[in-house]
Structure 1
Amino acid sequence: MKNKPKKDIIADAALSCFLASGYGATSVDEIVKASGVSKGGIYWHFKSKEDIFLYLFERWVNQWRHNYLASVNKTHSTADKLTLFTEQRIRNIDTSISALMLEFLLQSKDQETIDKMNMDIDQPTNFIFKIIEEGIAKGEFKSLNPKVLTLCFFAIFDGLSLQFLLHRNKELLEETTRETLNIFLTGVSVP
């Protein structure tokens, strides 16, 4: 078995610290202590604590994308592809990165950092946009503006995610999300 790259050792230690203390309350010195890597070693791999978080987030998004693409390639129906997306989102709603992402975004003041994070966030948006375009082209969905439908889709499900953060009731979230997806699909599907 290969040794874990030092960059991942640092990132994993940082994630543990972020989860224990919150993103804002975690210092680089705490990450040094948790990782066993010197401060210079940390700064060799990352330029800042924000950079470490962005790496963790990018790693999480890449894993999410890999899992989603593996499942979506097994279906041809546009509605099924949106359902798979929604189910994967439900499974990942209470992951550690999801909880930290909101705190990170609320505390980040640097527009370049926010832009980097948005590039990773845009990947699922692009997947859904392409799926909706495909549904329109195949005649499964009404001929509506795919960009607007994509933004509506995410507005609905981002709102549901916020509700989960407020109420912490995953069972209710699952039921509400599935019913909301049915309402969305009923509205956009060709009868």
Structure 2
Amino acid sequence: MTPIVSEEYKEKKRQEILQSAHVCFAEKGFEASTVDDIVARSGLSKGAIYNYFKSKDDIYLALMEGQTNNSGNKFAKAIAERKTALDKLNYLIEAYLDNDPNDEANKGHAIVHYEFRLYSTRNLELKEVLTERYKDFFVSLLIGIIKEGQTSGEFNKELDPVTYADIFWAMVNGATLQATILENYQYKLILKEMQNMFLEKLRL
């Protein structure tokens, strides 16, 4: 008789695989890492890993989904506690200022993130998944804040919220990418100046 495996056990194993994969991706890079590396790190068999995930791509997408959900819950709670759209926007920028890719704890994650994004440009299915994730979470979050600021009179009503949501993330992602690939990049200084310019434009 096949033993009954609880959902709690399955989720525990799934998280073990994801944690092991994250370490492998951070140490070796996404493309250089193999499922065999994840097997060695996790102590699970290759068959066990394929019971939970179809491929290495699938594992990374699950990692990104988990990180997005965690960030979403954190951001939603913090934003709800702030009364003005300006406070909410400043909170988001401060959160990224505190996540400097130059810091050793963040460097591996940032490298893997951009490596996977570049890798996804050669895979239409992956590209579509990441584009939808960007729109559904990141762009929607900013659109909501900007529209709230326009309604309250904090931000210029003539500006297109979608365009400025894209500008915000181009600003954050651009600074993060530069800090990831360049030596001694002044991430916090640059992002702070971008914050000032962005807010000045929103208020005109």
TM-score norm. by structure 2 comes to 0.84
* 1:178 paired residue number: 192
CA distance in 1, matches of 2:150, 2:33: 47
Structure 2 counterpart of 1:98, from 98, 110, 113 = 110
- CA offset at residue 93 of structure 1? 4.5
Structure 1 counterpart of 2:171, from 148, 152, 156 = 156
Structure 1 counterpart of 2:18, from 2, 8, 11 = 11
- CA offset at residue 158 of structure 1? 2.2
* 1:119 paired residue number: 132
CA distance in 2, matches of 1:182, 1:58: 31
**What is the DSSP-based 3-state SS (H/G/I as helix, E as strand, rest coil) of the residue aligned with 1:92?**
coil
Q: How has the CA–CA distance of structure 1 residues 147 and 18 changed in structure 2, closer, same or farther, with 3 Å as cutoff?
A: same
In structure 1, runs of 5+ residues without a counterpart are: none
Residue 145 of structure 1 pairs with residue 160 of structure 2 = yes
The answer (yes or no) to whether the contact 1:132–1:146 under 8 Å persists in 2 is yes
The answer (yes or no) to whether the contact 1:60–1:97 under 8 Å persists in 2 is no
| Cα deviation code 1:109-164 (max 9, x no counterpart) | 32112222233333121100110111111111111111122122222222222221
Q: Percent identity?
A: 30
CA distance in 2, matches of 1:69, 1:93: 21
Residue 128 of structure 1 pairs with residue 135 of structure 2 = no
* 1:63 paired residue number: 70
| Cα RMSD after superposing both structures | 1.9
| Larger CA deviation: 82-91 vs 8-17 | 82-91
- CA offset at residue 79 of structure 1? 1.2
Instruction: Write the letter of the residue equivalent to 1:106.
Output: L
- CA offset at residue 169 of structure 1? 4.1
Instruction: Write the letter of the residue equivalent to 2:90.
Output: T
CA distance in 2, matches of 1:151, 1:117: 15
CA distance in 2, matches of 1:103, 1:159: 14
Instruction: Write the letter of the residue equivalent to 2:175.
Output: L
In structure 2, runs of 5+ residues without a counterpart are: 1-7
Instruction: Write the letter of the residue equivalent to 1:98.
Output: A
Instruction: Write the letter of the residue equivalent to 2:133.
Output: D
The answer (yes or no) to whether the contact 1:23–1:103 under 8 Å persists in 2 is yes
